[in-house]
Structure 1
Amino acid sequence: MREHYLRLDDTSPSVQTHLGIVQGVIDRMAGNATSCKTWCITLVSAILVVIADKDRPNLSLLAVPPVLIFGALDVYYLALENGFRNSYDAFITKLHAGKLLPSDLYSMRPSGKFKAKALKSFSVWAFYGSLLVIIAGAWWLVLQ
């Protein structure tokens, strides 16, 4: 069976709609990653303030699980964002090469091997690693 390529260009309403939808998903994933960082810093700060107020420094390690949980969520959202960016780029490449299939207009799946890239992201390790260092530093300073 021969594949039937679509004859579309950049100005086609269906192409513009598809790209708008994918861009919206990318924006939501980036927003979710930002929310993870915001919630994490808020929760960790609150935990450390309450622990300092109650004069129970040995409980400062309770701030570690939220850092790990929100860090994992952030990596997940970053991986999805990267996958949808790969999908967006592949769509554009097919469009310009004239090899766009009807199924490409209705596909909303992230593509590529993007999970390892997200795990190695500086934005993830710098933020959550810094929080872990701050928690460890606070715990160590109080026990001295």
Structure 2
Amino acid sequence: MLEQKIAHLGMIQGVIGRMASDSQTLKTLAITVAAAIIALGQTQGATATTALGQTQSAEPSYLPLIAVLPILIFWGLTARQLHVERAYRRLYDAVRLDEEISGFSMDWREFRKQVAGPFRLAFSLSVASPYIGVVIILVAVWLYSGGHA
């Protein structure tokens, strides 16, 4: 019986580990997407040279502001990921404490009401801070590139 419990805890711990890694991957991907969109916006907002050698400024790029949408999506996905991870941690505790869990159950849904919801987690410091930072950078790039004109 103890061997089954250890195996069950190992399975749950594997899921928790993968989810923690996936959460970090989402943050990294959000920053990568933001950087790519900033780079694309900067190339579009560059000055153009006419046939007579005169330079004229191109229209300001709104891409940094448009990039806020995927950042918000990644933010929501990260909060959802953390919600599910915490429910798995609660399942882990239930198995560890010998609560009524069917053998080798991986069903986290019965524990989702015992942990903070995704919306609340989205505004926790650990989840919100990287995304708010990226949004501030995107708005600053837009303003710096002449978007306020």
Query: Do Structure 1 and Structure 2 share a fold, with TM-score over 0.5?
Result: yes
Identity %: 31
Show the 5 A alignment for 1:79-94.
79-94=83-98
Structure index of larger Rg:
2
1:18 and 1:58 map into 2 onto residues whose CA distance is 51
Match of 2:105 in 1: 107
TM-score for the superposition, normalised by structure 1: 0.80
Counterpart residue type for residue 54 of structure 1: Q
Q: 2:74 aligns with which of 54, 60, 70?
A: 70
1:102 and 1:86 map into 2 onto residues whose CA distance is 12
Counterpart residue type for residue 71 of structure 2: V
Higher helix share: 1
**Higher alpha-carbon deviation: 131-140 or 50-59:** 50-59
Q: Using the TM superposition, give the Cα deviation of residue 49 of structure 1 relative to its aligned residue in structure 2, in angstroms.
A: 0.5
2:74 and 2:41 map into 1 onto residues whose CA distance is 20
Structure 2 unaligned segments of length 5 or more: list them. Answer: 46-59
Structure 1 unaligned segments of length 5 or more: list them. Answer: 1-7, 95-99
1:25 aligns with 2:15: yes
1:122 and 1:109 map into 2 onto residues whose CA distance is 28
1:102 and 1:72 map into 2 onto residues whose CA distance is 30
Q: 1:102 to 1:80 in 2, by over 3 A?
A: closer
Q: 1:133 to 1:19 in 2, by over 3 A?
A: same
Aligned residues: 128
Q: 1:92 to 1:142 in 2, by over 3 A?
A: same
2:115 and 2:84 map into 1 onto residues whose CA distance is 10
Q: Using the TM superposition, give the Cα deviation of residue 120 of structure 1 relative to its aligned residue in structure 2, in angstroms.
A: 3.3
2:131 and 2:101 map into 1 onto residues whose CA distance is 42
